[in-house]
Amino acid sequence: MPLTLTAIRRRAQDLGFNFCGVTPAEPSPTLAAYLRWIQQGMQGDMRYMARTDRVRRRRDLREILPKAKSLILVGLDYYARYAEDEVLEDPARGRIAAYAWGLDYHRVLELRLEQFAEWLAEEAGREIAQKVYVDTGAILERSHAQQAGMGFIGKNTMLIHPRRGSYFFIGEILSSLEFDDYDEPHRESMCGTCTRCLGACPTDAFPAPFVLDSRLCISYHTIENKGWIDRDLRGQFGNWIFGCDICQDVCPFQRFAEETDEVAFLPFDLDRVAPKLTDILMSNDDTFRAMFRRTPVERIKRERLVRNACVAAGNWRNEVAIPHLIQLLYDESALVRGHAAWALWRTMELDSAKLLTDLHRREDDARVRGEVEALLG
């Protein structure tokens, strides 16, 4: 019996996915816009995105899987109401984007997609070629998901399901299976005249609707940027220390977001959601690992999270942070020393001049010296 969309949807549901869609493995309709985005350098330091082999694979899915005929995409909700806004927005706490509150989603989705792929092969009754992806392949998955009827792409560049918002993970199976029918593409956009997300972005990271300049985005800087955070941007980061949800939170479609019933994505304490900044500033490699083991935060390691916490402390401007920031002027990481110097300057202003002059005198790293010179300049 041929595999039907109904059977596929039922299996997706049995595996715990919240929704799914099937589309032919054709080039993504947003490919041209993506190539323009790369040409303009808006991917920042995510250089892998501009690599020729990845661009080639994005152009033609058969570069990934020569027999590719279809894409089976799934969505899994991760939204949880764990803490009140006043706790999340407390400047004494460092805020973590909602997708990272639970366990690392890659493994959770991959395991189920592998089971899904096995079932597809059994149902097909013959050998088929398949590849499972969660966020890692050169696939423009939001665009393909729109083609598979799973939602529209909002002006905030997220895939939005009109009845569940955008707080869900996407995964996919690229397959050599061909189907008799496919899901209808979703309407291209349902944003209408709304511009809430564009106006709410604290760093003005949208040069135009549907275009996000990563180089200006808090999410990019706190997660992907391995180096120094642009001094002119730091003051707009508020208390975000890992990611940013603002342009999703303000979206009117978000009111339909369903709370996840996926235990793996539920945080088990406030430290996974909005830890105290002082705890992060004082952390060492061991305490960092203990706090964030097996969560998406683990990937950026202690150095970058402390860098981000210094930025948040510079926005908090509270004397409680001062002793911790002074201690961080002696951290083994130049990145941390430089950002701690900025936070001290923001907190103590001219009263930090002696501390910063001393740092400048003993400092070997040219970038840290440059930071201090700019502050005292």
Which residues are the active-site residues? 135
- Give the integer Cα–Cα distance in Å for 20 and 9: 6
- Furthest-apart CA atoms within the chain: distance in Å: 79
197 contributes a contact to ligand SF4 by CB under 6 A: yes
312 contributes a contact to ligand SF4 by CB under 6 A: no
Q: 289 with 297: CB under 8 angstroms?
A: no
102 contributes a contact to ligand SF4 by CB under 6 A: no
Q: Residue from 64, 218, 355, 356 that binds ligand SF4 (CB under 6 A)?
A: 218
Q: Given the complex with ligand SF4, which of 176 and 219 has the nearer CB atom? A: 219
What are φ and ψ of residue 31, in 5° steps? -60, -45
Binding range to ligand SF4, per CB under 6 A, among 23-31, 215-223, 274-282, 301-309: 215-223
Question: In the structure encoding, which two tokens stand for residue 153, read together?
Answer: 């792409």
**Residues facing residue 171 across a β-bridge:** 74
Q: Given the complex with ligand SF4, which of 156 and 260 has the nearer CB atom? A: 156
212 contributes a contact to ligand SF4 by CB under 6 A: yes
44 contributes a contact to ligand SF4 by CB under 6 A: no
- Give the integer Cα–Cα distance in Å for 332 and 335: 9
Q: Could you tell me how many residues of this chain bind ligand SF4 (CB under 6 A)?
A: 22
Q: Given the complex with ligand SF4, which of 139 and 159 has the nearer CB atom? A: 159
Instruction: Output the residue with the shortest Cβ distance to ligand SF4.
Output: 154
225 contributes a contact to ligand SF4 by CB under 6 A: no
According to the 3-state scheme, what is the secondary structure of 20-51?
A: EEEEECCCCCCHHHHHHHHHCCCCCCCHHHHC
The least distance separating ligand SF4 from the CB of residue 226, rounded to whole angstroms, comes to 18
252 contributes a contact to ligand SF4 by CB under 6 A: yes
The least distance separating ligand SF4 from the CB of residue 167, rounded to whole angstroms, comes to 13
- Give the integer Cα–Cα distance in Å for 83 and 167: 16
Binding range to ligand SF4, per CB under 6 A, among 4-12, 223-231, 247-255, 366-374: 247-255
What are φ and ψ of residue 299, in 5° steps? -60, -30
Question: In the structure encoding, which two tokens stand for residue 34, read together?
Answer: 């993506």
State the alpha helices, DSSP H only, in the chain: 5-14, 31-39, 52-59, 85-88, 105-124, 141-147, 196-200, 218-219, 231-234, 246-249, 277-281, 285-292, 301-316, 322-328, 334-348, 353-362, 366-376
Q: Residue from 130, 147, 175, 203 that binds ligand SF4 (CB under 6 A)?
A: 203
- Give the integer Cα–Cα distance in Å for 171 and 108: 10
The least distance separating ligand SF4 from the CB of residue 257, rounded to whole angstroms, comes to 12
The least distance separating ligand SF4 from the CB of residue 78, rounded to whole angstroms, comes to 16
Q: Residue from 71, 73, 134, 201 that binds ligand SF4 (CB under 6 A)?
A: 201
Binding range to ligand SF4, per CB under 6 A, among 5-13, 16-24, 240-248, 270-278: 240-248
The least distance separating ligand SF4 from the CB of residue 247, rounded to whole angstroms, comes to 3
CA-nearest of 331, 296, 292 to 310 is: 331
Among positions 148-167, residues that touch ligand SF4 (CB under 6 A) are 154-156
- The DSSP line for 141-195 is HHHHHHHTTS-EE-TTS-EEBTTTBT-EEEEEEEES---S--PPPPPS---TT--
What are φ and ψ of residue 365, in 5° steps? -85, 125
Q: Residue from 219, 222, 308, 315 that binds ligand SF4 (CB under 6 A)?
A: 219
The least distance separating ligand SF4 from the CB of residue 123, rounded to whole angstroms, comes to 37
Residues in contact with ligand SF4 by the rule CB under 6 A = 154-156, 191, 194-197, 201, 203, 205, 212, 217-219, 244, 246-247, 250-253
